[in-house]
Amino acid sequence: MNRLNGKTAVITGGATGIGHAAAKRFIDEGAFVFIFGRRQEALDAALADLGPNARAVKGSVSDPDDLDRLYAAVKAERGTLDIVFANAGTGSLLPLGKITGEQVDETFDTNVKGSIFTVQKALPLMGQGGSIILTGSSAGTTGAPAFSTYSASKAAVRNLARAWAQDLKGTGIRVNVLSPGPTATELAKEAVGEEGMKVFASMNPLQRMAEPAELGAAAAFLASQDSSFMTASEVAVDGGLAQI
């Protein structure tokens, strides 16, 4: 399939997990991909796997200067940008009564502020036919014990798409949310542990965790013209977790 032939994409949090799986799928479908992340070692490993149609820029979505460097690199090499997958995210478990200011700041700086400025700074490079994809979460709909800060941040991301679809009227740029359920990524394992992942997996009708490649496939759909009449939508790839 060459649904993304000739397209240029940016994927934040693109070195591992869902972001890396999406980068692989985008490249397989013909795109040129810039991955963005905080760890040089992970970026280097991802580039070795992704091949010649990928570039890496080190930085954090919570740092506006880093985002400026990212888009300067895109402009210098490709000129324009077709797809933005604002995928970088973080989360940790703290129940009400033990939530800290540091946890709130870290979560919202990455998941909400990071998404806002990842998209806003990309807009000057985007035009007709552009696709913006935000990573939400089933937790943004259902909530989960001790996960309220993360859940609230992902509910905010969901509403960004609703508002931005209206802000982008007349531009030809679409914005949608991809909302995973329990997915076997490094971040998820760090956040809730192996036992926690088993518990989350048991809660959905498919009785398993998603593979990152399954999210990558859904991201490719939202990036392509196969979803050309979709904006402000949420695509749940969650094994039914938030749908029942």
- Per-residue model confidence (pLDDT) at position 211: 93
Whether 138 is covered by a domain: the verdict is: no
Specify the long-range contacts of residues 156-159, CB closer than 8 Å, at least 24 apart.
156/108, 156/111, 156/112, 157/111, 157/112, 157/115, 158/134, 158/234
Backbone phi and psi for residue 35, each to the nearest 5 degrees, phi listed first:
-100, 145
Whether 139 is covered by a domain: the verdict is: no
DSSP 8-state assignment for residue 79: S
- Per-residue model confidence (pLDDT) at position 143: 79
Does residue 171 sit in helix, strand or coil? coil
Whether 3 is covered by a domain: the verdict is: no
Which residues are catalytic, by number? Answer: 150, 154
Q: Give the structural domain span for 108.
A: 8-133+144-237
Give the CA dihedral 23, 213, 198, 102, nearest 10 degrees.
20
Whether 2 is covered by a domain: the verdict is: no
Written as tens digits, the pLDDT of the chain (244 aa) is 799 999 999 999 999 999 999 999 999 999 999 999 999 999 999 999 999 999 999 999 999 999 999 999 999 999 999 999 999 999 888 999 999 999 999 999 999 999 999 999 999 999 999 999 999 999 999 978 899 999 999 999 999 999 999 999 999 999 999 999 989 887 777 767 878 778 878 989 999 999 999 999 999 999 999 999 999 999 999 999 999 8
In total, how many domains does the chain have? 1
- Per-residue model confidence (pLDDT) at position 2: 93
Backbone phi and psi for residue 172, each to the nearest 5 degrees, phi listed first:
80, 10
Give the CATH number of the domain where residue 190 resides. Answer: 3.40.50.720
List, in sequence order, every residue forming a beta bridge with 83; answer none if it has no partner.
9, 131
Predicted TM-score (pTM) of the model is 0.96
Backbone phi and psi for residue 55, each to the nearest 5 degrees, phi listed first:
-130, 160
CA distance 211 to 192: 17
Whether 52 is covered by a domain: the verdict is: yes
- Per-residue model confidence (pLDDT) at position 201: 84
Whether 35 is covered by a domain: the verdict is: yes
CA distance 96 to 103: 12
DSSP 8-state assignment for residue 140: H
- Per-residue model confidence (pLDDT) at position 198: 83
**Which candidate, 67, 57, 52, 87, places its Cα nearest to that of 185?**
87
Residue 231 near residue 132, CB atoms below 8 Å:
no
Backbone phi and psi for residue 57, each to the nearest 5 degrees, phi listed first:
-130, 130
Whether 93 is covered by a domain: the verdict is: yes
CA distance 204 to 181: 9
Does residue 145 sit in helix, strand or coil? coil
Residue 122 near residue 67, CB atoms below 8 Å:
no
CA distance 35 to 237: 22
- Per-residue model confidence (pLDDT) at position 139: 92
Whether 1 is covered by a domain: the verdict is: no
